[in-house]
Amino acid sequence: MFRKVFLVMVVLLVAAACVTTSSTQRRTRKGCLDCHPEMRARYQQGIVHKPVADEKCGSCHLPHGMIGGINLRIDEPQLCYACHKVLAEQRGQRKNIHQPLKKGKCSICHSPHNSTIPKLLKKSGAEVCYQCHDKAEYSRAVVHAPLVQGCDTCHDPHFSDNDSLLKKGADTLCLSCHKAADPNLVKAHFGNTLAGGCLECHNPHSSDRKGLLRQVIHTPVATGNCKGCHAQGQGTLGKAATDAKICLGCHKENAGEGHKLVKDGECTTCHTWHGSDYPGMMKGPASEVCVACHDQVQKKDRRVISRHKPVVKGECDTCHRGHSGSEKHLLKKKPAALCYSCHKAASFGGGGKVQHPPAAEGQCLKCHNPHRSTQEKLLRKRQDELCFECHVQLSTEKGRYSLHKPFARGNCTGCHSPHQGDRPALLVAETETGGLCLKCHPRSNKDAQHPPYAEGECLSCHLPHASDYSMNLKDKAGKLCFSCHDDLESEFNAYKVKHRPVAELNCAACHRAHGSANGANLIKKQPPLCLSCHKEVSKYWKDGVAHPPAVKDCTTCHAQHGSNNPGMLVKPMAALCADCHQTGTAAFVAKHKGIKPGANSCLKCHDPHGGLDSSLLYPVAHDPFSKGKCTPCHKGGTGK
């Protein structure tokens, strides 16, 4: 409430200040540069953006107001379009748009305040272009003169209806400087007057070869044998014959029923006629030429997490032939041999004492995709789904009660090698001494350890994949324990009174399966272990008197697993109490008002674990008994 009142007061004060400000005061109100003179010195040098030169900061920026910060009125490019309307209009009409303009990022190339370079460019000449374009491609041994003068000699920096943002069509642009009839030009072209196709042989920016020739020149072109492909007239070249007829006349080895484009005679879909900067006279890198048709290989998909290295590098010809071949998909070799040319067979199914059959048989594509995958290692599917295709019986275990975490996650290679190994079942470590299990489950107990655990015999008790019992146990805990402790089983079965955890075969209720600092691998020491279930036993221990044996060790009086006596006592009650209390003495009888208690009658009056005082008598008693009068009911001497 206070905050709302405060804000209202501030608004009213501001409004009042506006109302009471005189016209003279309004005229003399300070501008941005009155408080920030250092900005005037910084931004009024060189070529200055008109709003800055006019000191109209508010044309682009919001005033600070109550909240500090230099904030634009609107984001670029809309802010720029407010003045440069032609850019906004042409942006939607022209065929090709420069990427920074297309993304609306004017400030990639231009400084918003001032610059020492015309058009407020951030860097001079081609350097501003090299922020995005690789400078190495424009800095070879021979550089085209217009490039030295600046990229905008040939290119429009914003948009164009011509390819590559050229100001004119490529041939028209070239012939505006290089006249087609120039004798030197005709001589260089073996007596032919050319009217176009300049970029087929020449790199427009830079080259390592004289005349800006491309890296690879078609042999007939290099030797001037134009008539091999063209009909020749008086210093002119006629139209070439059909693609396939020309190409296959020399390149007979590429004929066949291979690549569809070869079959259809569409050689120039992938190759240039005259020259190229790419091997095989390709129109561009394989990553672009091949993907123009096979776009699924490089198609963007956020789910894809692994790609084959040749695919990433765009090196399609590492695995595929471009024209024809005897293998499916124009592979250079059979799949296994092809994979093994990079992935050594000795490490992927051809070595080790045990081989995974698909790897040993070279069936790499049974598990892997050749180009990309939504799984790691180019796998076709999730590991477990892939493995279940062959190991069908394991798929049924997915529905069991307890799953080993790697198995549940489908991480089969957490335990198994996918190609080859030196151990049975292709396990990545030995199991005899627990080496495999200890990779994830390091020993955490330096105290006494259960022998199977200490010896690493994990599979004595646990199943490796899944189980119908908790903790992947092979059977109910008690049955597993009795398989080694068979003497305890026969002894337990003979008891009339059985400890409930043992009767339920739940040994883990009291014992740690792997080991414990306590004797017999107990979870806790005595008596806290028993009190975790029998809480009522200790009800008088805090505000009364505890029976010493009960506080010290429950097993003084009770058997751990079972007994033939009520209450799982280690002896009949009379004999057990007589171990500590001399029940036949005159003093004992005197304590009981001259009456000798009957056999097994101790618990009729005394709580065996504790009481309100040292007598350990129950807190509620029959009136004559509570007043020390036994004779109204007992004659005395007989315990009756």
DSSP 242-285: -HHHHHHHH-GGG-SS-SHHHHTT-GGGTB-SSEESSGGGBSS-
Token pair for 122:
């951030």
The one-letter code for the residue type at 376 is E
Please say whether the beta carbons of 178 and 188 come within 8 A.
no
* Phi-psi label, residue 524: left if phi above 0, alpha if psi -120 to 50, beta otherwise: beta
Dist. CA 303–CA 31, nearest whole Å: 54
Give the C-alpha separation, 269 to 322, whole Å.
Answer: 12
Instruction: Name the residue with higher pLDDT: 255 or 27.
Output: 255
Distance CA 614, CA 547 (A): 8
User: If you average pLDDT over residues 396-412, what whole number do you get?
Assistant: 95
Average pLDDT, stretch 160-174? 94
Q: Is the peptide bond before 527 cis (omega within 30 degrees of 0)?
A: yes
Mean pLDDT (whole number) for 153-173: 94
pLDDT, residue 90, reads 84
The dihedrals phi and psi of 66, each to the nearest 5 degrees, come to: -80, -20
Mean pLDDT of 369-385: 95
Residue-wise pLDDT for 224-246, tens only, equals: 888 778 766 555 565 665 566 77
Domain ranges of the chain: 536-558+569-640
Report whether pLDDT(576) > 90.
yes
Cβ atoms within 10 Å of 639's Cβ, excluding its own:
14
Q: Is the pLDDT of residue 122 over 80?
A: yes
Task: Give the Å distances, CA to CA, from 255 to 252, 261, 331.
Answer: 6, 11, 16
pLDDT exceeds cutoff 60 at 503: yes
Cβ neighbors of 69 (< 8 A, separation 6 or more) are none
Both structure tokens of 452: 């199977």
Enter the tokens of residue 114.
């001032």
Neighbours of 261 (CB within 10 A): 18
Bridge partners (DSSP) of residue 331 are 320
Tell me the mean pLDDT in the region 155-168: 94
| DSSP string computed for 365-417 | GGTB-SSEESSGGGBSS-HHHHHHTT-HHHHGGGGSSEE-HHHHTT-GGGTB-
pTM value is 0.68
Report which of 287, 270, 277, 363 is spatially closest to residue 323, judged by C-alpha positions: 270
The CA distance from 118 to 420, in Å, is 66
Residue 562 CB partners (closer than 8 Å, separation 6+): 491, 492, 495, 496, 497, 498, 499, 502, 568
Contact predicate 51/57, CB 8 Å: yes
The mean pLDDT of 292-314, rounded to a whole number, is: 87
- pLDDT, residue 504, reads 94
On the 0-12 / 13-18 / 19+ scale of CB atoms within 10 A, 561 is middle
354 secondary structure, DSSP code: E
Question: Which band of pLDDT confidence, cut at 50, 70 and 90, is reported for residue 171?
Answer: very high
pLDDT at 69: 67
Helices of type H across 47-181: 50-53, 78-81, 85-91, 99-102, 145-149, 170-175
* pLDDT at 65 (0 to 100): 60
Least confident of 24-38, 47-61, 247-261, 282-296: 24-38
Residue 298 has pLDDT above 80, yes or no: no
What confidence score (pLDDT) does residue 600 get?
A: 84
Give the pLDDT mean for 8-34. Answer: 50
Which pLDDT does position 261 carry in this prediction? 87
pLDDT of residue 14 exceeding 70: no
User: Which of the 8 DSSP states describes residue 328?
Assistant: G
Q: Is 142 left (phi over 0), alpha (psi -120 to 50) or beta?
A: beta
Averaged pLDDT, 307-311: 93
pLDDT given at position 445: 64
On the question of pLDDT at 25 being above 50, the answer is no
Q: Are 286 and 315 in contact (CB under 8 A)?
A: yes
Residue 389, pLDDT > 60, answer yes
Mean local confidence (pLDDT), 266-282:
89
Residue 159 confidence (pLDDT) above 50: yes
Average pLDDT over residues 208-237: 81
Higher pLDDT, 488 or 232: 488
- Hey, which residues does 142 pair with through a beta bridge? 207
Can you tell me the distance from the alpha carbon of 501 to that of 568, in angstroms, rounded to the nearest whole number? Answer: 13
Q: Tell me the C-alpha distance between 365 and 571, whole Å.
A: 72
Model pLDDT, residue 22: 42
* Strand ranges (E), 20-136: 47-48, 61-62, 71-72, 96-97, 114-115
- Amino acid identity of residue 50, one-letter, is K
What is the distance between the alpha carbons of residues 82 and 88, in angstroms, rounded to a whole number? 9
CA dist 164 and 171 (Å) reads: 13
Helix (H, G, I), strand (E, B) or coil at 61: strand
DSSP 488: H
Segments of 394-531 assigned E as strands: 402-403, 420-421, 466-467, 497-498
Is pLDDT at 66 greater than 90 in this prediction? no
pLDDT of residue 233: 56
Burial letters 136-160, b for 16+ CB under 10 A, else e: eebeeeeebebbeebbbebbbbbbb
CA distance 571 to 294: 87
16 has a pLDDT exceeding 50: no
Residues 285 and 278 sit within 8 Å (Cβ to Cβ): yes
Q: Return the pLDDT at 12.
A: 43
Tell me the pLDDT tens digit for each residue of 528-548: 999 999 999 999 999 999 999
pLDDT at 392: 95
Please say if the pLDDT value at position 354 is more than 90.
yes
Q: Sort strands 372-373 and 306-307 into parallel, antiparallel or unpaired.
A: antiparallel
Q: What is the mean pLDDT of residues 251-269?
A: 80
What is the C-alpha separation between 317 and 311, in angstroms, rounded?
A: 10
**Is the confidence at residue 193, as pLDDT, over 90?**
no
Q: Judge whether residue 70 has pLDDT over 90.
A: no
- DSSP annotation of 598 reads P
Backbone angles phi, psi at 255, to 5 degrees: -75, 155
Treating both helix axes as pointing N-terminal to C-terminal, what angle do 477-484 and 486-493 enclose, rounded to 10 degrees? Answer: 110
Contact assessment for residue 287 and residue 254, using Cβ atoms and an 8 Å cutoff: no
pLDDT score of 224 = 87
User: 521 or 6: whose pLDDT is higher?
Assistant: 521
Judge contact between 551 and 541, C-beta under 8 A.
yes
Band of residue 300 on the pLDDT scale cut at 50, 70, 90: confident
